[in-house]
Structure 1
Amino acid sequence: MTRDSGKIRFLGWAATAGIAASVLLTILLGVLGPSAMVPTLPGPSWQPPFSLTTRPGGYLVIALGAAAIVLGGAGLAAGFAALARGWTFRADLWVGAGIAAVVVLAFLPPSGSADHLNYAAYGRLAVLGHDPYTVPPEQLGGDPVAGAVEEWRGVTSVYGPVATAVQALAAVVGGDSVRLIVFVLAAVNAAAYAVTGLLLFRSAAGDDARQRQVALLWAANPLMIYHLSAGMHVDTLAIACMVAALVCGAAGRHAASGLLLGIGVGVKATAGLVALGPAWELRRSPRSLAIVTACAVAVAGIAYAVAGPQVLNQVGAAGRRVSLAVPWSLMKRGLQHAFGPGAYTVWIQVGSLLLMAVLVVLLLRAFSRAQHRAPQAAEVAVAVVVAWLFSSAYALPWYDGLAFALLALAFQPGLAAFMTARVSVLSLAYLPARQAGQPPGAREWLVDGVRANIVPWLLLALTGALMWWAWRAGRGQGSARPGHR
């Protein structure tokens, strides 16, 4: 056995062990039942999802979550390094194992955040004849579903009308049982995750290397399973639509691509950034571009028109927020210290847009240099979404799922490494992404310490490194494929 083959075997083993351990720890969090990481689900105990009622301590489950994130990030890093050196494995088995884990998690209570309680409440509001875009859950008084919402009781829906329709359907099935409503939503979420994985795997048919990338980047990605499957975030539905749209577009099915883009925007407005990829690729084909645009605008326009202009209320408000864990929070505090109290929203928004524009240009130049051709739809979409994630003033770790799915379509090893580092660091900042049930003293070191003061600096350094890497790669002084010379 040569030295290189020994290193490949070690990295492959480390990747397999880290990813498997991360997924098993994520499943364990759900199995243990209600805790600081797993919100209680009111409803009959015979209804799914199921779990034990061990009531584990807050620090224990937070440690389990942290271990899942660290092991998952390390496993992915080892996997990408092994792939760069020629590691081979049965991609179909990995995809199958990832989907199996997602199915198991659908029958366990969601963990990591309490967003699923918001989804249930918004669906319940819609079923009872209220507008979730103008009526917050707290206005339903003693309703058992709305009453289960935690810190977002006074906040109206920020999700698109298609997402609200899915939530309403779940509420019809689940009635006044939070448990059953959440299970229906989890089943839809698991189906979306699995379909995305299968679409990506099929799109790489005949290319074993690409199929292995799909397995690592999406189907068996422990950090995506942690956030999008166990966390059950609505982003999964939008990602499924966008991946399907790009796959259809690559096959020349432009009407279907446009329809799917419109549905994805109807789930979550920011998913529309992906549409810039097809728009760029089809810029010299006016007829095809017109078909995609017309279909996308028609579907999204009808969905938002039916819901009414109030559907964008919270979207606009979210665009003015600055989350604690992003580098812009450091700028905000610096401005407040220098010029006095204030949100400095416009300054930060302008800075964010400028940074995004610079990153898009740098990334596209790096891709063009690496591929020796103009970027295609999926590559443009990757560049835009990654630039948005790194420049946004409001970001949460599950938002990164869109970038990983796109990277599975247009693999860029350098970006995969940066995205793995970013989502790992950001995930530790939101461990967990809920306040209820936290152990005494946890806020001081989790929120005020890690989230507000450590992670922003780490992400700032990572953003600077990304810009430097992209600039060098675009000038031909580096490589868009780290590890290759």
Structure 2
Amino acid sequence: MTAAAPSPKRRLWGPNEYVPYTPTAWHRDHRVAIGGILGFSAISLTLAILGPSAVTLVLGPRDGSLLPPWYGPALPQRPNEWVVCIAAWVAILLGGASLLIALRALDAGWRPRPRRLCTMGTVLALLHAVVPPLTSADVLMYAAYGRLQLIGRNPYEITPAEVFRSQYDPVMEWTERPWEDTPSVYGPIVSWLQLAANHLGGENMHDIVFWLQLFHVLAFLGACAATIWIARGDRDRLNRAILMTVANPLMIWGIVISAHNEALSVIFAVGGMMLMRRSALGAGLGIGLAGCAKLSIGLWGLAMLWAYRKQPKKAALLCLGAAIPMSLAYGLWQPQALVSVLRNGSYVSGGSWAQPVSRFFDHVMLLDTTTAKLLTGIISYSLLVVLVIVLWRLLPWSAVPGIAPDTSPRDDVMTVAVRAALVLSVAWLVSAMYTLSWYDLIAFVPLGVLASSRLDVIMIVRNTFLSVAYVPGRVVDLSDQLDTVVTQVRETVSPVVQLGVVVAIFAWAVERRRSRRRGDPAAEGAGSNVMTSDGAPSDGADGADRGATDEDPSPDRGDRSGATGTVDRTTLAT
């Protein structure tokens, strides 16, 4: 019995030669996509550089500090609230549309140099990390929680408001509503970094925010780099991973320019995912550390466990690895954190589908608020279960690059784990009562590693309108007219779109079922591909691995190694 041939060594960037591409339509034109991403960046950076406004945070006096965030000198009056809000909406819509166009261009045959695309995304992310945060005041609360620790208080037991309402504090006075009366809901790792930022920034909110921005952008870039490493060796998949992560304008908006801490958990989770084929214990340690930052990343832990379900020893090692940091962080160092973190599940966010549903129970059915939330929660968890089942059946099986030769994706632990992570993440994000745009990083990462599907469009549309709904995502004084518009966008437009996302998933399922009844081979054969010794899919499997979007293949969405393609897939796998 001969041993299986070793997998070919994969270079990070793969072939880097120029491949000519002539777009056939503007919505598949890479120049439009790149121009749109740069246009998005120009608008968002301009908003930040203008300084405090309805969308740009007030960080307090710089006190001569030369550290970022950098912005221009104080204007005679703040920028007009209508101008900055409309500009922010335009930036988000432009970013979402540009990402869609870029992905369509990839499917049509555009093959940019991965290194250049990654460099562009990295530079844009870093530029957005050295200007004042936009739309969300969460980073001010991060600073306040760190300040509480610095003065010897526990952020899981006491709120910033309890301190600054009784005594002056140079940091906490700059926090904003509505979370001033809420204890921290973050894991111990996040809390330690908040404390570190306060040690480094002193009593200056401006400087503390810089250190928090630095921690967050480095974690974001690290998570993106790990995702790109997983996708290495396949130039097309590599470019997808770059566009879905580091060059993704929606994630730059939600994670970097808004200074959110989502990447602090994702970086450890992706690190654990990288080890799925090599070390179950190492994968467990990665997901355990991720859970010490944010518990919601535990969805990825379930996905990893599912991937090892046929290998009990490795499943046990995964659990052991996860238990080590989790038991130390939540059991020994910060036992109060676990209870506080779990509190987040009872909230209802304004832009979600749950907002109008909860209001219907409250105002139309005349139920009390507690009962209305309970019924909404039952619907939410029921929908979660149904969506997991539906998405698991819908999502095409496409192998994660680096799969062993002659192996089915269904038998590769990393492919199963990444696919399950995507299914669980999307189902949770779409069904959750409390959902925000920056949470979507846990879905965009596995989306980038797997082949394109209709889920790309669904998640981009969801995130775009959820981002628009939180402009501004702050409790600030607005004119009555603008406040009415903002409220309608958040409480009417976004919830309708989020309901539309749920409908779109079920419509996809119905369409797939009808295709199978008609005997459509694209619907029947998805996921049957195995990998040959050269790393390319076997005959008849290219649709499942390269596109598998349940659409009829067109000349520029078919096999790229044929007449319309320009690069041999066996070359991409080397």
TM-score by shorter chain over 0.5: yes
8 Å CA contact retained: 2:221, 2:246? yes
Q: Which residue of 1 aligns with 2:151?
A: 128
Deviation, 1:400, is 1.1
Q: Which residue of 2 aligns with 1:107?
A: 130
Please report the RMSD computed on the Cα atoms of aligned residues, expressed in angstroms.
Answer: 2.2
CA distance in 2, matches of 1:171, 1:194: 22
Deviation, 1:299, is 0.5
8 Å CA contact retained: 1:243, 1:406? no
CA distance in 1, matches of 2:460, 2:215: 26
Post-superposition Cα deviations, 1:273-297, rounded to whole Å, max 9, x if no partner, equal: 1111111111111111111111111
Q: Please, which moves more after superposition, 298-307 or 170-179?
A: 298-307
Paired letter, 2:91? A
Deviation, 1:260, is 1.4
Structure 1 segment 212-251 matched on structure 2, within 5 A: 212-250=239-277
Deviation, 1:227, is 1.0
Q: Which residue of 2 aligns with 1:365?
A: 393
Post-superposition Cα deviations, 1:338-391, rounded to whole Å, max 9, x if no partner, equal: 243323222222211111111111111123567785361000000000000010
8 Å CA contact retained: 1:273, 1:384? yes
Q: Please, which moves more after superposition, 436-445 or 56-65?
A: 436-445
Q: Does 1:35 align with 2:63?
A: no
Paired letter, 1:432? P
Paired letter, 1:345? K
Deviation, 1:50, is 1.2
Structure 1 segment 377-396 matched on structure 2, within 5 A: 377-396=417-436
Deviation, 1:474, is 6.5
Deviation, 1:216, is 1.2
Summarize the Cα distance change of 1:84–1:474 in structure 2 as closer, same or farther, 3 Å threshold: farther
Deviation, 1:306, is 3.3
Summarize the Cα distance change of 1:130–1:96 in structure 2 as closer, same or farther, 3 Å threshold: same
8 Å CA contact retained: 1:323, 1:395? yes
CA distance in 2, matches of 1:474, 1:286: 34
Post-superposition Cα deviations, 1:117-142, rounded to whole Å, max 9, x if no partner, equal: 00000011111110000110012221
Post-superposition Cα deviations, 1:202-258, rounded to whole Å, max 9, x if no partner, equal: 2222211011101211111001001101011010111111111111224x1222221
CA distance in 1, matches of 2:437, 2:115: 27
Q: Which residue of 1 aligns with 2:12?
A: none
Q: Does 1:59 align with 2:79?
A: no
Q: Does 1:149 align with 2:167?
A: no
Structure 1 segment 270-289 matched on structure 2, within 5 A: 270-289=296-315
Post-superposition Cα deviations, 1:10-58, rounded to whole Å, max 9, x if no partner, equal: 5222211211111222222221111111111124242322111333221
Q: Does 1:406 align with 2:446?
A: yes
Q: Please, which moves more after superposition, 340-349 or 305-314?
A: 305-314
CA distance in 2, matches of 1:164, 1:484: 50
8 Å CA contact retained: 1:84, 1:483? no
Post-superposition Cα deviations, 1:381-434, rounded to whole Å, max 9, x if no partner, equal: 000000000100111111112111121222442111110000011111111211
Post-superposition Cα deviations, 1:168-226, rounded to whole Å, max 9, x if no partner, equal: 11111111111111111111111111112222222222211011101211111001001
CA distance in 2, matches of 1:482, 1:67: 31
Deviation, 1:442, is 2.5
Summarize the Cα distance change of 1:82–1:327 in structure 2 as closer, same or farther, 3 Å threshold: same
CA distance in 1, matches of 2:397, 2:420: 14
Flag the structure with larger Rg. Answer: 2
Q: Please, which moves more after superposition, 164-173 or 314-323?
A: 314-323
8 Å CA contact retained: 2:186, 2:294? yes
CA distance in 1, matches of 2:443, 2:40: 20
8 Å CA contact retained: 1:115, 1:233? yes
Q: Does 1:182 align with 2:182?
A: no
8 Å CA contact retained: 1:12, 1:79? yes
Deviation, 1:437, is 4.7
CA distance in 2, matches of 1:325, 1:399: 13
For structure 2, which runs of at least 5 residues remain unmatched after alignment?
Answer: 1-19, 400-407, 517-521, 524-547, 554-574
Deviation, 1:450, is 1.2
SS at match of 1:158: coil
- Using the aligned pairs only, state the percent identity: 29
Q: Which residue of 2 aligns with 1:71?
A: 94
Structure 1 segment 93-104 matched on structure 2, within 5 A: 93-104=116-127
Q: Please, which moves more after superposition, 385-394 or 311-320?
A: 311-320
For structure 1, which runs of at least 5 residues remain unmatched after alignment?
Answer: none
Picking from 462, 465, 470, the partner of 1:430 is 470
Q: Which residue of 1 aligns with 2:328?
A: 302
Summarize the Cα distance change of 1:105–1:5 in structure 2 as closer, same or farther, 3 Å threshold: closer
Picking from 25, 44, 49, the partner of 2:69 is 49
CA distance in 1, matches of 2:342, 2:232: 41
